[in-house]
Structures are given as structure tokens and as C-alpha cells.
Structure 1
């Protein structure tokens, strides 16, 4: 059974390479899905024009571009995302980027989300990148900064959701990628969690791409994940 409000918590990643593929998926999923993510893959192949079309059709759009630049450039990027009709936008959770984005979005309904640590990274990856902190420590530091700066929420692995929720309180959004339904392979993600477990841990939204868009029947796959999510209620 799918609980009435659970659809708003599912974000389907349109991680495809053409606008046409994305449009077909949206048509296939119909009213079952209300929110879509557009990231680099689709954005750089003509998909940005879909943002306004999806918004006009009553869908919410999570524009996952992970902005990181000097403050003025981040602010202008936020303004452009607003003009497209995006509902959610990611920036890397560096304090200067979060401050610039929060200020540029002030007075609008745009939900600015700080990306803590990518779900494909682990402690060894951070060490290779020059960080002395562990994943847990870096996530906690960035979560605290995001709360103090006052952005709308965070993007983090559901594996860290419980500890993050304790740091940021109940109001901020917590969007978790790396979600895999029961029995699915993790692929290139290193910190994955099943849908109901992610919600129980404190996630407000779940991002799911491959388990739905690569399924033989994407609509049935989406419905199955919504049923799993409903078990957390």
C-alpha cells in the first residue's frame, strides 16, 4: 500500500543523455512521480529546457548542479535556476557558497541544499583528495555550518541521516541519494540504504535513479519503491 503523502518524498533522477529519453520517462511515470532530478548528464545535453516544462505541468524539479565558485558566480547561478523554475538546487557545502546561495534565494521558494560528501566517496577517497577528516567528521562539520548559515537543507548519504538529523533538527530538508530497494546491487555507490530505512533515519526526500530508470518496467519499479517507503510510516 502506498501512503498518500509518500510521493512527495520520492525524487526520480532523470540520469539519461537526451531530452527525449527524459520526456518519455516522465510520460511513463505519470502521476506516480511528482518530483524529478536533473543533473549534469541531462543538463549538458539540452535538458535544462525541461525544467520550465515540468514545472508548468505541476512537477517539482530538483536541479542538481552542485554549484561551487566565487560568491558572485554562485549567486548568479542561483538567480538563473530561479528563472528556470527549479524548486530545489544544490551547492557544494562550502560556507562561502552556501552563504551566497542562501542570500540569492532569499524571499523565494527555492530550496537550497548543501552537498556534504558524495555517496560514492569513503574515507580513503577523502584522504586521496587531501582531506584529513573522515567522512563522518566532514559531514558533521558541513551540516553544522549549513544550519548556522540558514540554508534549506542538505544532501547526504542516508547512512549519515540519523546523526545529521540530530545536528540540524527537524525543520531542514535532508535529501538522500544512494538509495537502493531491497535486493538491489549498490553499483558505484559506497554508502547505500534501503528506502524505508532512510526515512526512519531522518531523510525527508529520497533520490532514486537507476533502480527506476533502468528497470524493465520503470512505473512498476517506482510503485514498488513507494510501497517500501510507505513501510516507514
Structure 2
């Protein structure tokens, strides 16, 4: 009886573990990658997964200013998004607030925060995600993505900040370019709609003239037949 009870207990534990793993995987929609480099730098990257359906958001990071100092905050210029970053949020010297918005669904790396270690022993809790709020295509907050559902991955290795990242101080130029591109797209769409509308109007006129000619021909034929 005891053996059966032990087997049942093991089975329940295994199934519970699998269920928790499935829930964890399902919640992996926003990932914070903490990448520790050999030179003492720490990279914190925000990675949006494909099924997250995120179009914008606000994230606040907090770091231990006694152990770390901020070196740079970079955004991924390939995302084609508007960015605003406060490197010294609330003037406390240890908080970074990043806000982003896009007309298209964001997938992949969004931000890269690089901090330099003042000493060798830096713990995982020395850099944390203090607050997160993300929105969908309609600008509504996605309630299923919160600070508690964000996945944090602690890694050691080579730098992940590639040439696709640029300093946030340069983003206004990117934003102007994005605006101009969007403006050109809007203009093209409006022009296309105008052409379609004009074509429809022209087609309607042709249709009306055609119907009038047919009625006139039928009327003439009827008149001639009646005359005979």
C-alpha cells in the first residue's frame, strides 16, 4: 500500500512539474536577457516574442548604483518605432524609464541597456525590472503581460548588442525618418484611394451612358415597329 502511495505521489509531482513548465512556456512572451560579459559589463536586453502581439510599452529598470554605473541605452533601429528614454528617472540615479510605440507589431530585441560593474561581485538582483506595461494594436493594456509573467534569463558570454542598435540620443533622426516614411505611405494610400474613387466614378458614368444608349435604341426600335 505504501509503495502504491509513493508511486502516486511521484506521478502527481511529475505531472505538476510538467504543468508548471507548460504555464511558464506559455507566459514567455516578454523576455529580459541579462548578459554578463568578461570585461565586467552587463547587458540588459528586452526581447519581445512573436506571439506577444505588442505594439508599445513602458518599462522601468532599477540597478544598484553602488555596484553599477550606466554606460548606454540603445534601441533597435530595425524595429521602426518611436522611442523615449529617461536615463535618470525620478532623479534617483538608479532608474531608467523606456517608452516605445510602433505602428507595427514589435518582434525581437527592443532595447539594450549596458552597465559597467564597479566591482567584481555583481548579483542578479543588482539589476531588476521594476515595472512593465505593454499595449496592443488598439493601444489597450495587455493584462496577461505583467512584471510577474516576464521571463528573466541570466547568461554569460559574448555581447548581444549588434550594429542594429543605436544610442537613444540619435533616435529623433530615426523617428523623423520613420515619420517621413509613414507620411509617404499615407500619401500613397490616399492617392490610391482617390484613383480608385475616380475610376469608380468614371465606370459609373460609362455604365449610365451605356444604359441610356440601350434604352434609346430599344425606344427607336419600338417606335419604328409601331409606325409600321
Same fold, TM exceeding 0.5? no
From the two aligned structures, give the one with the greater strand fraction: 2
TM-score, scaled relative to structure 1: 0.21
TM-score, scaled relative to structure 2: 0.21
From the two aligned structures, give the one with the greater helix fraction: 1
